[in-house]
């Protein structure tokens, strides 16, 4: 059975997965907030533990903010981060539990029963925000844009610069826009099924 047998139609498979590629160069066409709001209206429905939704996204819109971000990226990521139409810093809200009584009203005590321990709470925030980064990457592709997700940056400094309240952890920086000439590198090999899945 191949992915042709999935319920999702082949055009959508191509758009989200098979023909979508990580972009390393973009045209100048801007990405407006309205498109991101449409992405959010879609991906917000995907699940998180206790509906905690810890992902927070900072859109780096001003030249001043971009100038603060670029030197904190690894060298190999600086040029594309300097020139992408839109750059976003994605992080986990380590204090997400404050909102749990609102987000998970069936068991408002979850805030204290499960998440009063700092290590447990941070681990859950990072896990769930990362899962949401997966949803977000596919959501931006659903909007017809290309993404260039990066984890190569000085994470502590990016956290401090872009989440100055000290309760967030930066996890990824994502360039977004329409791909230009030279956007693509060669496609890299993927692990086959039998190296990812086992049965017991």
Q: State in angstroms the smallest separation of the CB of 192 from a second copy.
A: 8
Is residue 5 involved in binding a second copy (CB under 8 A)? yes
Site string for a second copy, 66-95 (x = CB under 8 A): ------------------------------
3-state secondary structure of 175: strand
Burial classification of residue 31, based on how many CB atoms lie within 10 Å of its CB (0-12 exposed, 13-18 middle, 19 or more buried): buried
Q: State in angstroms the smallest separation of the CB of 135 from a second copy.
A: 5
With respect to a second copy, which residue has the nearer C-beta, 44 or 180? 44
Is residue 127 involved in binding a second copy (CB under 8 A)? yes
Residue ranges of alpha helices (H) inside 143-167 are 155-162
Q: State in angstroms the smallest separation of the CB of 126 from a second copy.
A: 7
CB-based contacts of 160, cutoff 8 Å, min separation 6: 166
Is residue 60 involved in binding a second copy (CB under 8 A)? yes
Angle at 178 (CA atoms; ends 138, 58), nearest 5 degrees: 60
Q: Which of 106, 165, 181, 182 is in the footprint of a second copy by CB under 8 A? A: 106
Q: Which of 78, 83, 101, 104 is in the footprint of a second copy by CB under 8 A? A: 104
C-alpha to C-alpha distances, 92 to 16, 124, 128, 148, nearest whole angstrom: 24, 9, 8, 19
Interface positions, 139-158, toward a second copy (CB under 8 A): 142-144, 147, 149-152
Locate 104 and state its tokens: 């998970």
């Amino acid at each position: 059975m191949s992915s042709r047998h999935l319920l999702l139609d082949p055009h959508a498979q191509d758009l989200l997965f098979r023909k979508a590629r990580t972009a390393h160069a973009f045209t100048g066409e801007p990405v407006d907030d309205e498109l991101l709001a449409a992405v959010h209206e879609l991906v917000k429905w995907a699940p998180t533990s206790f509906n905690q939704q810890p992902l927070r996204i900072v859109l780096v819109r001003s030249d001043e903010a971009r100038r603060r971000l670029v030197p904190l990226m690894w060298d190999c990521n600086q040029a594309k981060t300097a020139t992408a139409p839109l750059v976003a810093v994605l992080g986990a809200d380590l204090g997400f539990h404050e909102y749990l009584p609102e987000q998970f009203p069936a068991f408002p005590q979850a805030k204290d029963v499960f998440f009063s321990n700092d290590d447990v709470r941070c681990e859950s925030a990072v896990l769930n925000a990362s899962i949401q980064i997966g949803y977000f990457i596919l959501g931006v592709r659903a909007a017809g844009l290309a993404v260039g997700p990066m984890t190569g940056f000085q994470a502590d400094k990016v956290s401090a610069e872009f989440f100055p309240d000290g309760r967030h952890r930066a996890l990824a920086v994502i360039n977004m826009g329409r791909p230009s000439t030279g956007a693509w590198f060669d496609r890299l090999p993927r692990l086959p099924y039998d190296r990812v899945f086992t049965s017991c």
